[in-house]
Amino acid sequence: MPKHTKVTQREHSNEPVTESVADLLSLEHPMDYKSSQMSMGLSPGSTAPGKALLPSPDPDAEDGRPAWNNKLEYILAQVGFSVGLGNVWRFPYLCQKNGGGAYLVPYFILLLLIGIPLFFLELAVGQRIRRGSIGVWNYVYPQLGGIGVSSLMVCGFVGLYYNVIIGWSIFYFFQSFQYPLPWAECPIMRNGTQAIVEPECEKSSATTYFWYRQTLNITSSIDDTGGLNWKMTLSLLVAWILVCMAVIKGIQSSGKVMYFSSLFPYVVLFCFLVRVLLMKGAVDGIAHMFTPKLEKMLEPQVWREAATQVFFALGLGFGGVIAFSSYNKRDNNCHFDAALVSIINFVTSILATLVVFAVLGFKANVMNEKCVVGNAEKILGYLNSSVVSKDLIPPHINFSHLSAQDYAEMYGVIKTVKEDSFGQLGLEACVLEDELNKAVQGTGLAFIAFTEAMTHFPASPFWSVMFFFMLINLGLGSMIGTMTGITTPILDAFKIRKEILCVVCCVLAFLMGLLFVQRSGNYFVTMFDDYSAGLPLTVVVILENISVAWIYGTKRFMQDLEDMLGFRPYSFYYYMWRYVSPAVLLVLISATVIEMAFSPAGYNAWVEAERFLNYPPWALTMAYALIVAAMLPLPLVFIARHFNLISDGSNKLSVSYRKGMMKDISNLEEQDEQRFILGKNPSEAPSPMPTHRAYLGPGGTQEMTNTNYGTSTKTGYQNIGSPESEL
């Protein structure tokens, strides 16, 4: 109640009250009860029959926060962020490794148990609080405000090396504008008058040699830095210029870029799928991929890798999901968005897997035919030199048209008869299944296996240009989300022009990224990929889950969602957020720690062939320092807030929240004053906040009890004197 009103003065005065109630009411401002939000318990968004409320100011507009131009831009941004390089070169590898089609079952189950619920949670808190990752978790529970800082740190680490991969793709993209492709054949060396094939290339393959020697010019170990690789340095500079141009205007520029970068990869994938299905061996690859090995589903490792892939496929914990969602209107149906983006991500992974295995099936068929031809020539030589008797060759065998089946039959006969000396002949079995079982992932799939397959395509430069342009766009979409996850919290906290912040971030990132474009840079990319994100992000997400489900309260959060969305989410989410998701994440963290403890820490070095090497002590220290650096803000902020060493961040709330809180407090004082005049206790006044159905919990049997909001003295979510529905 205002301190200087007549009612207050009378209350504290010893003079007898001589005015009538009517006199007192005549001094107050008239109130239109018919159009009041309190009338008949109507919410601000509802109207009485036949009555129209005066238009109220849009809280989203009052906030002054940028907003998406339309829903499509926002969905494409979330899809572009979640669908990245991992969908193309990680998911197919896991599918092949963990039982083919059987792997899809644990993946889909875990997508439902942890993927969609946690994705929905991040979308909801970002949309309701309308802040970046730091502001959101400062607001939810200030003592866990380090969650947002850790997210920002991980975004920084990942962005540093992720853009290097885009730089590699840019280099291959420009190298593809020539025929034949530069990685199609091994280079020829001149030794006087004699021309010989490059020995390093002859021992491996043309595509492998081009990747390790001509692209990376890699050193033999991480200890030998080798200096800067200027081709890769220039490519990295181009990559950061592209990213800077895409995000320099915030969502106003990145939203436009997403129309192309999110949709173009699907065009390329469909074109590849149609083209490869017309080639020999593509069906063999797809059949090999979808042949389920059901026994694999019983292995814990399969479920752990499926959970990890679900976790990273949706971009949970990075802050990009929250940042993108914070630019939505508060009544946006984020539940629908969570389900839609998750399903699109899953379908994209399957589509990419179809394309990858169709291409690898075609490649395996080509390699198998080469194997048959090469070994048939060896057998002909042995026949001419009488090492192998002609009687061992089945009569129907025609060496000029030798099929894989004919060769397998001939190989079996020779192996049986020449059992003692068979090893000296040097013949290979040439089994198609063996070629298909050669599992490759990551850069090995994109820059070696896939590039080798494309050399056998008709019009191979065209397909190579399309493929690497697709990789650039996939990477760019993810980098836009990563950069938004970095810049949005900073812009929320400080008054900085986004253009200046963007340029400064990109310049600093380019300078720090020079670590990855040394000749030994690929080894550091592997280190950052293995250590900088995995464990820290899992810890970040479980703390996000706990802070909302257990500290703030799942029932309160569910009721907030009902107020925001206009409907009550399924009780399924209640159980997932409160019990299942934290349990699964805890198991995942434990499995990750155990794997790190018992697996050797090392990398694949190139010494004319790939060879696994352990990290030297300084590199191992650096790897663990990445984990510590990413997780250190969590305890530091907790301790600092616990002992009141730093502000709880309440002064960083959005403009619309502060206006809304002041308006609610003012309304409450006015209503208490009027109830006092009318002879009622202030506590009997109806709440000035919009009425809503009480959330009954998942069982629907016990009504949730509201607290006295006006007297709340808690911190974070609860320190603002507003109802629980104000998330």
Annotated binding site for Na(+): 80, 83, 87, 345, 474, 478
DSSP, residue by residue, 352-387: HHHHHHHHHHHHHHHHHHHHHHHHHHHHHHHHHTTS
- Angle at the Cα of 257 (from 252 to 83), degrees rounded to 5? 115
Cβ-based burial of 699 (10 A; exposed 0-12, middle 13-18, buried ≥19)? exposed
Q: How far apart are CA 646 and CA 143, in angstroms?
A: 10
Using the Cα atoms of residue 173, residue 178, residue 183 and residue 187 in order, give the sign of their dihedral. Answer: negative
Give the separation between CA 29 and CA 10, rounded to whole angstroms: 18
Integer CA distances (angstroms), 348 to 189, 537, 618, 700, in order: 44, 23, 40, 38
In terms of Cα–Cα distance, which of 430, 459, 432, 278 is closest to 358?
278
CA distance 509 to 713: 42
How many C-beta atoms surround the C-beta of residue 25 within 10 A? 14
Alpha-carbon distance values, 609 to 350, 549, 604 (Å): 32, 50, 9
Q: Show binding-site residues.
A: 80, 83, 87, 345, 474, 478
Contacts of 420 by beta carbon, 8 Å cutoff, 6+ apart: none
Using DSSP, how many helices (H) and how many strands (E) does the chain show?
34, 4
Please tell me whether residue 614 adopts helix, strand or coil conformation.
strand
- Report the distance separating Cα 563 and Cα 691, nearest Å: 9
Alpha-helical regions (H) of 445-520: 450-454, 460-493, 498-512
For residue 210, the number of C-alpha atoms closer than 13 Å in the C-beta half-sphere is: 24
Would you list the DSSP string of 640-687? HHHTT-S--SGGGS-HHHHHHHHHHHHHHHHHHHHHHHTT--GGGSPP
Are 351 and 271 spatial neighbours (Cβ–Cβ below 8 Å)? no
Give me the half-sphere count of Cα atoms (radius 13 Å) on the Cβ side of residue 477.
Answer: 30
| Pairwise CA distance, residues 726 & 9, whole Å | 34
Rounded to an integer, what distance in angstroms lies between the CA atom of residue 277 and that of residue 274? 5
Classify residue 557 by its DSSP letter. Answer: H
Structure-token pair, residue 242: 């592209």
* Phi then psi dihedrals of residue 610, to 5 deg: -70, 135
Cα–Cα distance for residue pair 92/325, rounded to 1 Å? 29
DSSP per residue over 305-341, as a string? HHHHHHHHHTTTTSSHHHHHHTTS-TTS-HHHHHHHH
Q: One-letter amino acid identity for 399?
A: F
* Sequence letter at residue 474: L
- Torsion angle of C-alpha atoms 463, 449, 307, 527, degrees rounded to 10: -110
At 235, phi and psi to the nearest 5? -65, -40
Cα atoms in the Cβ-side hemisphere of radius 13 Å centred on 257: 26
C-alpha dist (Å) from residue 106 to 13, 101, 211, 439:
73, 10, 35, 20
**Distance of CA 329 to CAs 240, 323, 659, Å?**
31, 13, 17
Cα(284)–Cα(290) distance, integer angstroms: 10
Give the tokens for residue 690. 């919009």
Q: Helix 521-531 vs helix 146-175: angle between axes, to the nearest 10 degrees?
A: 140
